[in-house]
Amino acid sequence: MPPTESHFIGGAWSRPASDERIPVYSASTEEPLGAVPRGTPADVDRAVAAARTAFDRGWAASSAEERAAWLERLAGALEARIADVAHTIAGEVGSPISMATSIQARSPVAIATAFARVARAFAWTSEAGPSLVVREPYGVVGAITPWNYPLHQIMAKVAGALAAGCTVVLKPSELAPLNAQYLAEACLEIGLPPGVVNIVHGNGPEVGEAIASHDGVDLVSFTGSVRAGRRVASLAGAHLAKVTLELGGKSASVLLDDAPIEKAVTHGVKQALLNSGQTCSAWTRMVVPRGRLDEVLEAATRAMASLPVGDPFDQATRLGPLISEPQRARVEGYIAKGQAEGARLVYGGGRPSGPTRGHYVEPALFAEVAPAMTIAQEEIFGPVIAVLAYENEDEAVAIANGTVYGLAGAVWSADGERALAVARRMRTGQVDVNGARYNPEAPFGGYKQSGIGREFGAFGLEEFLQVKAIQR
């Protein structure tokens, strides 16, 4: 494990301003895994100064080819650490080791590689009549990232910013910060110029707010809750910094009346319960034709029962614990509220009999859910699926669009063109048609209260760029 007692500032392990530490605990055993510094605004000041110096002294002026080459070297250094990263995240977050390896540890490598490709192919200049239009790096980026897909979300911001020519001050989540130290170690190994990437550990009210409110930060990129996103936007707005937000979701998987039920339901359950449902884009609402409701519930019950809950380090486990005891209490509160409001609990919802420690909860399947119920409106961030029945296609679309969120979704039909037509009617940032594969170069982000801006691909790169018109 790389050093955990230090921040990473100016290309070196950096002694924190305070001796206070934040302990990090295992989600599955509740045992301590280590501790990171409890950062202060003084630490943020040093990191922002280092990032500004790196920006001004060459990184912003480097070529797209040079930055792409650095990203590829960074991807290679992270790839060499896949086993270590997966093991660390399985401990911190509780992600099953199979998923922690294939997604949590491998996707940061893929993201860095994809942004290298995007940077090389991107149209950095264009023409508007007699004017030359030039895209230039925005400046110093403050990146504040969540705990559920920690290094994945870190690289979504860091790789995009670096590809654009920006420098970064990163605050990882204090609930799962240890994996970020591997990024620092990788930066050291490849000799990334000092100050291009800086990492300051700490909690949101101290370090996160210091980054968002810092007048040396030009752009703040935040992923987290709607409540925290509003706070970040308010603080950054005081000095008119640009803000991009990737917030919550309550995504719907819409099964049309000709959908392949077994395939759609099985795929939908696995997607919704990935990472024990702690996924912002999870399809936690299954919107189904009333005439096929019983068939859907039977298939969903089978799919849930096929996903073993247990030790994240067991290769057979498919559902690990939730991140913390407060998160489990939150999820159990929603399960109780669903029943109190009249939804029928079809499967699960209790605590599994196996584990004696850790923040475990069984996946829960609800039927007879009305669109206005709390479990159909609010983001639970746990392994809970609400099944909502509809009478016709227009009602299905209305249910899908009937929340304050708009991050992701899915449509299933035997007729691909029909599914595509429904996908176009959904007010959401991404829609998968008939189980299409995830594309790391497609833009990711939300409508409505799911956020502002996009990540990944050319659209994600553009978030980190200013546009200059030069009249000739």
CATH number of the domain enclosing 144: 3.40.605.10
| Same domain? 239 vs 269 | no
| Same domain? 429 vs 460 | no
CB under 8 Å to 218, separation ≥6 — which residues? 138, 139, 140, 141, 166, 241, 242
Mean of the pLDDT values across residues 132-153? Answer: 98
pLDDT, residue 142, reads 98
Calpha distance 457→53 (Å, rounded): 27
Tokens representing residue 312 in the block: 């994240």
Q: Does residue 266 belong to any structural domain of this protein?
A: yes
pLDDT, residue 211, reads 98
pLDDT class of 205 with cuts at 50, 70, 90: very high
Q: Note whether 217 and 242 are within 8 A (CB).
A: no
Q: Using a cut of 0.85, tell me whether the model's pTM lies above it.
A: yes
Task: Convert the pLDDT of each residue in 339-375 to its tens digit.
Answer: 999 999 999 999 998 888 999 999 999 999 999 999 9
Beta bridge partners of 466: 136
Helical H runs in 122-208? 150-164, 180-190
Tokens representing residue 171 in the block: 């605050």
| Same domain? 17 vs 81 | yes
Tally of domains in the chain:
2
Q: Note whether 190 and 77 are within 8 A (CB).
A: yes
Q: Note whether 97 and 90 are within 8 A (CB).
A: yes
| Same domain? 238 vs 317 | no
Task: Convert the pLDDT of each residue in 17-27 to its tens digit.
Answer: 999 999 999 99
Calpha distance 342→241 (Å, rounded): 45
Q: Give CA separation, 40 vs 17, 46, 192, in Å.
A: 7, 10, 25
Q: Does residue 212 belong to any structural domain of this protein?
A: yes
Which residue in 469, 252, 290 sits closest to 368, CA to CA? Answer: 290
Task: Convert the pLDDT of each residue in 234-288 to its tens digit.
Answer: 999 999 999 999 999 999 999 999 999 999 999 999 999 999 999 999 999 999 9
Calpha distance 132→134 (Å, rounded): 6
What CATH code is carried by the domain that includes residue 304?
Answer: 3.40.309.10
pLDDT, residue 440, reads 85
Calpha distance 214→142 (Å, rounded): 9
| Same domain? 362 vs 239 | no
| Same domain? 364 vs 238 | no
Calpha distance 332→246 (Å, rounded): 25
Calpha distance 82→151 (Å, rounded): 11
pLDDT, residue 290, reads 98
Which residue in 263, 243, 240, 241 sits closest to 253, CA to CA? Answer: 263
Q: Does residue 23 belong to any structural domain of this protein?
A: yes
pLDDT, residue 1, reads 81
Q: Tokens 């910013």, residue? A: 161
| Same domain? 167 vs 68 | yes
pLDDT, residue 264, reads 98
pLDDT, residue 15, reads 96
> Amino acid identity, residue 454?
R
Tokens representing residue 318 in the block: 């498919």
| Same domain? 213 vs 318 | no
Q: Note whether 286 and 388 are within 8 A (CB).
A: yes
Mean of the pLDDT values across residues 430-444? Answer: 94
| Same domain? 309 vs 330 | yes
- Look up the domain containing 256 and give its range: 252-440
DSSP-based three-state secondary structure for 415: coil
pLDDT, residue 354, reads 83
Residue 133 has pLDDT above 90, yes or no: yes
pLDDT, residue 286, reads 98
| Same domain? 465 vs 418 | no
Tokens representing residue 84 in the block: 């270590």
Task: Convert the pLDDT of each residue in 294-339 to its tens digit.
Answer: 999 999 999 999 999 999 999 999 999 999 999 999 999 999 999 9
Calpha distance 343→365 (Å, rounded): 10
Q: Does residue 2 belong to any structural domain of this protein?
A: no
Q: Does residue 216 belong to any structural domain of this protein?
A: yes
Q: Give CA separation, 73 vs 110, 194, 324, in Å.
A: 12, 15, 35
Mean of the pLDDT values across residues 202-231? Answer: 98
> Amino acid identity, residue 133?
V
Q: Which residues are catalytic?
A: 246, 280
Q: Does residue 204 belong to any structural domain of this protein?
A: yes
Backbone φ and ψ of 392, nearest 5°: -150, 170
Geometric angle at alpha carbon 148, from 212 and 182, rounded to 5°: 80
Q: Does residue 463 belong to any structural domain of this protein?
A: yes
Residue 37 has pLDDT above 90, yes or no: yes
| Same domain? 154 vs 213 | yes
| Same domain? 87 vs 135 | yes
Q: Note whether 202 and 37 are within 8 A (CB).
A: yes
Percent of the chain exceeding pLDDT 70 equals 100
Question: Helix %, strand %, coil % for the chain, to 5?
Answer: 40, 20, 40
pLDDT class of 390 with cuts at 50, 70, 90: very high
